[in-house]
């Protein structure tokens, strides 16, 4: 992870929590990552908060990394050319490159986002698009993967982006193990809106959260809005509005996303055929599974299974 003066500690910590803590002996299949913090000039690096962090490694520590993360920093400050070179070199050798929040400005300045979809915190999205017209900025999502480059929105969206990468490389079980240890949801879709009234309902805090848990346990059933509304003693209209404010999606879209997640887990962890997975995940028929799987992940269930097993074999 590359840091420069006036970097943000919270966003830095999101990546550290995912990759910097050894969870390999906790029984979830989580590998131990070699996590290094580096900076152009090793020594005490000031944080945005007024604190400082001692960083021992120079940018040479990123030379063989499989993932290089750019920490957010003051957008008006110049990033040393050596940092841009490190990002370009990582991309050129096929490593993953990720930015959190305003770290996207460094990726854009390095030319890595030209012609690519990306995102940053919604406060900065218009500025990013104005400064770098060749970049395709989407301000309404949590994170974007384009090629082997991942950009994320601000603060907690960095967790979602990191867990997305874990899931891509190591599968649902490993991502869920890290998320459980961090006490965060194992998956929020990258296409979810950045700003909703309550992005993630607090567990057990109100009837809506209990309803969401019940829906996940009954993915194989139909859930008309009228019946869901009755379960939480709301009118259908009020329920629809509250549901979107708390999840960022309609009940039907949220259910389909949960069913796709369940199908991913079954593809990764079982030998069930596609028809059986379609029934277990709540789609009923393989045609519907393939349709929603392609819509959500731009691939087929069979290809997803082959890709995932390839990642495991490589690991």
Decide if 189 is inside a domain: no
Helix %, strand %, coil % of the chain (to 5): 50, 10, 40
Q: What are the tens digits of pLDDT across the range 173-209?
A: 888 889 888 888 666 666 655 554 433 444 344 688 8
CATH code for position 297: 1.10.10.60
Decide if 190 is inside a domain: no
**pLDDT of 66 over the 90 cut:** yes
**pLDDT of 49 over the 90 cut:** no
pLDDT computed for residue 117 by the predictor = 95
One domain for residues 272 and 305: yes
Judge contact between 262 and 282, C-beta under 8 A. yes
pLDDT computed for residue 192 by the predictor = 59
pTM over 0.95: no
7 has which bridge partners? 47
pLDDT computed for residue 189 by the predictor = 63
Side-chain half-sphere exposure of 153, counting CA atoms within 13 A: 22
Decide if 199 is inside a domain: no
Number of domains comprising the chain: 3
One domain for residues 54 and 134: yes
One domain for residues 168 and 297: no
Decide if 202 is inside a domain: no
CATH code for position 148: 3.40.50.880
Look over the chain and give the mean of its residue pLDDT values, rounded to a whole number.
Answer: 88
pLDDT computed for residue 25 by the predictor = 87
Confidence tier at 94 by pLDDT (50, 70, 90): very high
Q: How many CB atoms lie within 10 A of CB 34?
A: 11
Look up the domain containing 272 and give its range.
253-314
One domain for residues 144 and 264: no
DSSP annotation of 59: G
Q: What are the tens digits of pLDDT across the range 258-297?
A: 899 889 888 888 889 999 999 999 999 999 999 998 888 7
């Amino acid at each position: 992870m590359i840091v420069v003066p006036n970097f943000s500690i919270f966003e830095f910590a999101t990546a550290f929590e995912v990759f910097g803590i050894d969870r390999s002996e906790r029984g979830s299949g989580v590998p131990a990552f070699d996590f290094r913090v580096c900076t152009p000039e090793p020594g005490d690096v000031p944080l945005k908060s007024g604190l400082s962090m001692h960083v021992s490694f120079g940018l040479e520590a990123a030379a063989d990394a499989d993932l290089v993360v750019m920490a957010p920093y003051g957008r008006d400050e110049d990033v040393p050319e050596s940092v841009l070179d490190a990002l370009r070199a990582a991309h050129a050798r096929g490593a993953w490159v990720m930015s959190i929040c305003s770290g996207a400005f460094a990726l854009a300045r390095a030319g890595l986002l030209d012609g690519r979809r990306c995102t940053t915190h919604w406060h900065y999205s218009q500025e990013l698009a104005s400064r770098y017209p060749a970049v395709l900025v989407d301000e309404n999502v949590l994170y974007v993967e384009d090629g082997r480059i991942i950009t994320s929105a601000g603060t907690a969206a960095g967790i979602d982006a990191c867990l997305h990468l874990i899931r891509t490389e190591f599968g649902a079980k490993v991502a869920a193990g890290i998320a459980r240890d961090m006490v965060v949801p194992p998956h929020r879709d990258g296409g979810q809106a950045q700003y909703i009234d309550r992005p993630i309902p607090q567990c057990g805090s109100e009837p809506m959260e209990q309803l969401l848990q019940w829906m996940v346990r009954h993915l194989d059933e139909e859930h008309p809005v009228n019946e869901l509304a009755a379960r939480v003693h709301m009118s259908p209209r009020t329920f629809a509005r509250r549901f979107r404010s708390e999840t960022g999606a309609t009940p039907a879209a949220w259910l389909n996303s949960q069913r796709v997640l369940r199908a991913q887990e079954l593809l990764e962890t079982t030998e069930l055929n596609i028809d059986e997975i379609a029934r277990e995940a709540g789609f009923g028929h393989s045609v519907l599974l393939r349709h929603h799987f392609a819509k959500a992940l731009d691939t087929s269930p069979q290809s997803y299974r082959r890709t995932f097993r390839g990642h495991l074999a490589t690991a």
